[in-house]
Amino acid sequence: MEIYTKKQALKVYLSKIKTQNKSIGFVPTMGALHKGHISLIQKAKKNNAIVVASIFVNPTQFNNKEDLEKYPKTLDKDIELLKKVKCDVLFYPSVEEIYSNSVKSESYDFDGLEYEMEGKFRHGHFNGVGTIVKTLFDIVKPNKAYFGEKDFQQLQIIKKLVKKEHLDVSIQSCEIYREDDGLAMSSRNARLTIEHRNAAPFIYKVLKEVKQKFKTEKISVINNWVTNEFKNHTNLELEYFTIADEKTLKTAEVKENDKKYRAFIAVFAGKIRLIDNIKLKLS
């Protein structure tokens, strides 16, 4: 595996690949890789001649200083994992390499997607994501880029970014990868205490019940049920639960036959914030 820390050197390497008409698959990450990331790399390997992964803990998308400082870093292990799945190139730049002297986000208009759910609790987060993803796309110029559905709002926002900025890349989504007990895989899971780790599968258990209830119950009834499920939980604190239209991400109050819905949830397990979502069906 080739490892690059400088964008110019990576660009030169990839421009040679481009002239050979080979397709480039790109998997941007913040490291602390888990099986979910690896499944993205494997999918990218299947559909492209060359796969580039990036590891960059992007400061502008963190709205919580402690979350940024304590974000898990496991570079040696990550490199081993990437080599094992035959990832071709790793881009591992420094903050200076990406942002020079100005660690700031661009301001984007994502047609309102950015104000829903995560946007209400993580101010500026999606401007940070938009900024880094656009920057990385400009450097790597991938044909296809791969993102997980755990961050479903991020995925929709990146699709919007590509459309609005007329970027020549196809966004590929991949289903949520879960631990055996149902907890959605996330780099932040590594920071959970044993107590909170044991409690966390409750989130997916609730989402699975929501999926069942959605077929027969009113949305307001489901919302109240979820709030109550978390009310007396000793280790988990509900930040938000919402059933939303997959396309607009706007909270749904009533079900409409021609729309697609998903349930979205954010929960604090101690200081660690976990998010998850599930696709819903009307019948």
Could you give the CA distance from residue 41 to residue 108 in angstroms, rounded to a whole number? 28
E strand map for the chain: 2-4, 24-29, 50-55, 89-91, 144-148, 170-174, 236-245, 261-269, 272-280
Cβ proximity to ligand PAF, 158 vs 252, nearer residue: 158
SS3 246: coil
Cβ proximity to ligand PAF, 108 vs 202, nearer residue: 108
Contact set with ligand PAF (CB under 6 A) = 28-30, 58, 61, 129, 132-133, 151, 154
Decide if 70 contacts 62 (C-beta within 8 A).
no
Respond yes or no: is residue 166 known to be catalytic. no
Could you give the CA distance from residue 138 to residue 132 in angstroms, rounded to a whole number? 10
SS3 139: helix
The encoded tokens of residue 55 equal: 């590891």
- Whole-number minimum distance, CB 214 to ligand PAF, in Å? 27
Active site residues: 37
